[in-house]
Structures are given as structure tokens and as C-alpha cells.
Structure 1
């Protein structure tokens, strides 16, 4: 465990602009650490409390001070991501991704309707008739809404639906009512839960969405997947290329990788701190080491007030570890 002084000495806080609003975010604040084993990212969303954010710091310390476990593959298939935009905006969003074979589409956005979701998913299917399509509701529906929405959206052919409802019990109910018509994936019920294995014990999902940072690191995520005994999709949390590198390490170390991973979100950003960025080419990303570029760190350096806020947060989370 590095000391707080060691972390503060190698910390850089940046603000990366987004190409499009994503889950309400138009600028992504990230604290980067340069450790002896490489660069690491600490970027829990600003609304997360310190207990939750401390797991993200544990993951960053693993990346920078321990390194990643051995890989069993060096190329990771990646999905494109379509935020909750209008159907008319879909072509421009997809144009940022290269050779799209799988698309994750955000649905159940607050202030929008099921009609908006159907139009958005339909626009993707129209443009990409052969692509695999998955939807992500971020727990935005109740059970009845989820069953209605997934039944309608499945006319476009869904690979799976990610976190259609908030709780494990509700997930189990939706999965039972859909009766295999649409596979159910658990995300928040794994990464934000005090017991990430509750989903598997309850038979509430067909697969897990796992993210290295919220689960406390690559090794902890691998343990959870192994204990759950369910197929896994590796995803990111709107990370810079440094954070994506940790996601790639997780995907590269899994014994099986049956689904494309949600590690293409750098394409939604208008800035990054790695050159060249870790973005998908020909539908996937080759696993490689990355390092922050000093010029980009300077260009996207956060204002002094936000630097102070993140350094204070780093101290509080370090104390919890």
C-alpha cells in the first residue's frame, strides 16, 4: 500500500470533455496516478460516497503498484455505445466507432418515453442490420415496464438487456417473466452491491457485467466471476484510456470471453490523456501498455478548485483502505 504522500506526489487531475452527454455527464473528471508498475486511474463519479469510491482507489493501486495478472488473449472485441440520444443523432454517434459489430444502447432515460427507446434502437438496427444489439436501462424501469419494453424492443433482436430493474428480486422476476426471450444481465446489482454474488445465488441473471474499478480491481473481479459461475461481459465506467487499460486487463485474463466488451467509451470523449487513445479498430482493441502524455495532461488539467477537491477525496478514500 503506497502512502498518501506517495499518491499525492504522482497525482494528476484532468477534465475531459465529452462529445455528447452521457448519463448526464458533459465533462469527465479523472485523477491519474503514475505508479511504479504504470499509470492508473481513480475516477469514481463525483456523487459516489467515500466508501464506494474507496474500491475504485483499491483498483487504481492494483494497476499502478501491483500490475495486472497474466493475459490469455491479446485482442478484445468491443461494442459501440449509443447514449440516450434522439434517433436522428444515432448515425453521428456510430460514425465515431470503427467497424461496429455489437452496439449497446442506453434506454429508460429519465424524461424520455418508451417511444424514444424504440426509435433509437430501431435507428441502430436500420443502420446495422447484422450487428448484435444490447440495451442498458441502468435500473430505470419497474418490473411491468421492463417486461413491456423488452417485449417491444425485442422485435429488433436483442442479445441481452442490462440491468432493466434496480433490485436483485426484481431482476429475478423479470427474468422469470421473459422466460428466455431476452437474456438478463446484471450490472449495478453486482458492482454497487455489498454482496456482488447475490445475483447468482438468486438466479436473477443470465450473465454478469463486471467493471474492474468499482469491484476493487482486476483480481477481485476475476474472483467474483469465478465464484458466480456465470458468463461475464467486461465494461468500463466512462474511463480515459488509462482506465480502459485496466478493463482490457480484466477481459484479457478471463478464462472465457463469450461477449464483446463495453470498453469503447473513449470514442464518446472529445479528449484523452493517451496518444494514441485506446479505441476500437476493426471491432476490437489490442491489449497494450499506455502512458499519459505530458502535453495532454497539461491541456486538460482541471481548475485549481477541482484539483483540491479530488486530492481531498483521495485522502479520505486512502484512509478507508
Structure 2
């Protein structure tokens, strides 16, 4: 597409955008208030356990047009073998951003983002950015631990000789192993991959498969009073959101009252329920029973029970699908490939939620591959992150095109936007999407307060 494209979140209605290979000079996002947020249409689950067909994100072209488009002769896997990485500089920086309002879920309450930004510069001058989200109830690291871990990895990157991308990423994995360092590892992996993509001017969505340059996200309502939930739902309805992700799990009766209040102001919305481990199996099934009495059927029930309650997860999954055709997603229960294999082989859930902060980028790709081979549907989400991490996850989701549920809304919950450049949200007639106008979502990005 010729010409420049605005880097701000825009509320203008427009036709789908494609990536520009001539990115404009970035400018700061002036408004401190989160603006337009994209919407997502709900999807009807299949009737059989593990039988939801992952549907790719909407593409701005028809399948016939996509088949006629020339594709790059290489992708991420090939690049891991062919691209030599020589890191000239790398550093970790605190990334602190207040939230527009406290974000309460069943397992925690957050008033500000205290994450870690990662900057990697190659000897060619290409720069990449990553973000290590910190949410102690899910990630193993707090901000000081994540800063220290990322700093160690950055020192190793700078000291190392030039090596293929795959070898460099393996060195990062060796330095930051397992779930204990997953968030820090994800931030460093993002920054390295981003720098490489920028150096060859290939957009990440192309690098990860090229299925689309657009994704559609839901919007989250945290645990609040029924009146507050109704106000948020009315606002999001006006902004074009069709799917609301509702945080539940602290108090069953309060959760039902909140759902009733939302239905009054947004009667046609689709619901995703996210209990964040807050219910017992019996409570989770009771919630579905009571919603059914109200005539409400969620499109997804995310992590209804504690992460280690495997029998409870299986029980809810079977009851939810057999009684109400509701899919159940494993989120906190999936902290790595072994967990994913347990979920798949044990037939414990219909959907696996991919979060880079709990899996890392390479770890996330491993789980995605295992789920796709097994016919398990996929969701992609985040912790509470800025547009750095959400932009990367958006590129990944758009490029792969295999996610049935997209939950990449957290930058819109922040009271400030610290990022230059990146994606933009555009309200279309039906529905609204996240668009990625740059060659790379983080090309020329800069963190203002650092």
C-alpha cells in the first residue's frame, strides 16, 4: 500500500489497511485516554469435546486473492537458520504505567503496570523492542526479578559472537529457563525477533505465516459493581464491541448480578467468562445453570477452577459442553508444553489460551503447534501489557491465523500510552479490527518515560 498511515488509534471508519513498506515518521500518541477499541464477534462452539475448529482472523482479502499474492520464500523457522544475529547493545528498563481504573480479577488486584521493556540493537543499527509483563499471581517474576533476569540475558547477548537466530534464541532460553523466567524470556525473545524483522523490513505477521494483517479482539470488564459493569458495557457497546470478557470468580451471586446488569444495556453482546481459577467445579457448573435460566450462553468459559485442579477442569469441560455447548479454556493450567500435552491427552479442555508471558515466544509456538496437531482450539491473550507486547502478540495471531478467540485489549485499560508508533484500532462497519500499519509493529517505537 502506497503512502503513509496514521500511527494513532483512530475512530474513523475505513476499509481494511495493509502493511506499509514505507512507514511514516512516528509521532506521540497525544491523548492519555484509551481511545477506540476493536470488537469481536462471538463464535459458536462445537458440540464435541476438543472439536472447536480454529477459525482464522478476518482477512482483508478473499481466499482466492490471498492464493494469488506472492509470499516471501522464507518464514520464521527458515530465518532461525539463515539469519546471523550480532547484538551491539541490549538493555532492560522499567516500564511503569498507571491503569485508568483498578483492574480486579479473582486472584489479584492491579492499579498500575510495572513491567520491563527490553531494547535490542543489532550491529546493523536495527532496533527491536520487547516487553516482560509482570503479574505475580500468574508470572513467577516481580519487576525487580524480571529486570535482573532480563539484564543478565542482555549481557550475554552483547558478549556473544554472531550466531544464527535460532542459536541466539536457544541461548536466551538456556539463560532464562522454564516457567520461572517465562515473562523475562518472552520480552527478550520479542526484542531480538523484532530487531531481526526490522533489519530485513519484513512485517512480523508475514514472518509468522502471513494469514492476515488484522485481528479482532474482545474487551475486558474486571470485577466491579453491577452499576460500574453496566456503565462500561454501555460505553463498549457504543465503541463497537460485540464480545465482552467478564472477570468472575470472587463471588458467585455478585457475578450473576453483574451479568444481569450488563445484559440490560448490551443485550446482544457475546460473553466470555474468565474465572481466573476462582470457582470450584460445582460453582462453575452452577454459574452456567443460572445463566441458562437467564437465557445467557457464554461463548467461552476460561479457567473456571484452580490451575492444578485437573479433575475439576475435566468435570466442568464435560458438563459445559454436554449441557450447554459451552467451550472451556485452560489458561493458568497451561504453563508449558508438558501442561499442554496433559490437557490434550487427558481431554481436559476445548481451548488452550496462549500467553507469551507464561510460555515465552518459542514456548508459545511449541504449544500452538501441539494444539493444532491435536485439533484443540486456541485463544491468545495477555497479562496487563502495553502495545509493545500486545502488538507482538497481535502480529503472531494475525500471521498464524489459527486463533478462535482473541483477547488483546489490555493497552486500552491504561491511563497513558507510552509508545510511539505501533498498530492502530479502526472501527469498521462490521466488525472493528486491530490493524498493523508498519513494516513491523515496533518499527521506530520509543518508550516515552524511559
Please, what TM-score do these two structures have when normalized by structure 2? 0.59
What displacement does 1:99 show?
0.8
Which residue does 1:160 correspond to in 2?
A: 300
CA–CA distance in structure 1, aligned partners of residues 398 and 273 of structure 2: 24
CA–CA distance in structure 2, aligned partners of residues 19 and 285 of structure 1: 21
> Could you list the runs of 5+ residues in structure 2 that have no partner in the other structure?
1-83, 122-126, 142-177, 195-203
SS in 2 for 1:175: helix
Give 1:157-236 correspondences, 5 Å limit. 157-166=297-306, 167-178=309-320, 179-181=322-324, 182-191=326-335, 194-217=338-361, 219-236=365-382
In structure 2, relative to structure 1, the CA distance for the partners of 1:82 and 1:258 (3 Å cut) is same
> Could you list the runs of 5+ residues in structure 1 that have no partner in the other structure?
299-321
Task: Compare 90-99 and 230-239 and name the one that shifted more.
Answer: 90-99
- Higher RCO structure, 1 or 2 (CA under 8 Å, sep 6+): 2
CA–CA distance in structure 2, aligned partners of residues 87 and 64 of structure 1: 40
CA–CA distance in structure 2, aligned partners of residues 20 and 30 of structure 1: 17
Confirm whether residue 73 of structure 1 aligns to residue 222 of structure 2.
Answer: no
CA–CA distance in structure 2, aligned partners of residues 92 and 292 of structure 1: 34
SS in 2 for 1:208: strand
Which residue does 2:112 correspond to in 1?
A: 27
In the TM superposition, what whole-angstrom CA distance separates every residue of 1:128-179 from its partner, at most 9, and x where no partner exists? Answer: 2222111000111111111111211243221111011122221111122332
Give 1:1-321 correspondences, 5 Å limit. 6-7=89-90, 10-22=91-103, 23=105, 24-36=109-121, 38-46=128-136, 48-49=139-140, 51-67=178-194, 68=204, 69-94=208-233, 95=235, 98-109=239-250, 113-154=251-292, 155=294, 156-166=296-306, 167-178=309-320, 179-181=322-324, 182-191=326-335, 194-217=338-361, 219-259=365-405, 261-275=406-420, 278=423, 280-282=425-427, 283-288=432-437, 289-290=441-442, 291-294=444-447, 296-298=448-450
In structure 2, relative to structure 1, the CA distance for the partners of 1:4 and 1:78 (3 Å cut) is same
What displacement does 1:225 show?
3.0
Please, what TM-score do these two structures have when normalized by structure 1? 0.81
Instruction: Specify the structure having the higher radius of gyration (Cα).
Output: 2
SS in 1 for 2:379: strand
What displacement does 1:249 show?
2.2
Q: How many residues align?
A: 291
CA–CA distance in structure 1, aligned partners of residues 339 and 101 of structure 2: 33
CA contact (8 A) 2:87 2:120 kept: no
CA–CA distance in structure 1, aligned partners of residues 399 and 392 of structure 2: 11
Task: Compare 34-43 and 236-245 and name the one that shifted more.
Answer: 34-43
In the TM superposition, what whole-angstrom CA distance separates every residue of 1:201-233 from its partner, at most 9, and x where no partner exists? Answer: 111111121112211115334324324421111
CA–CA distance in structure 1, aligned partners of residues 354 and 410 of structure 2: 15
CA–CA distance in structure 1, aligned partners of residues 186 and 221 of structure 2: 27
Which residue does 2:67 correspond to in 1?
A: none
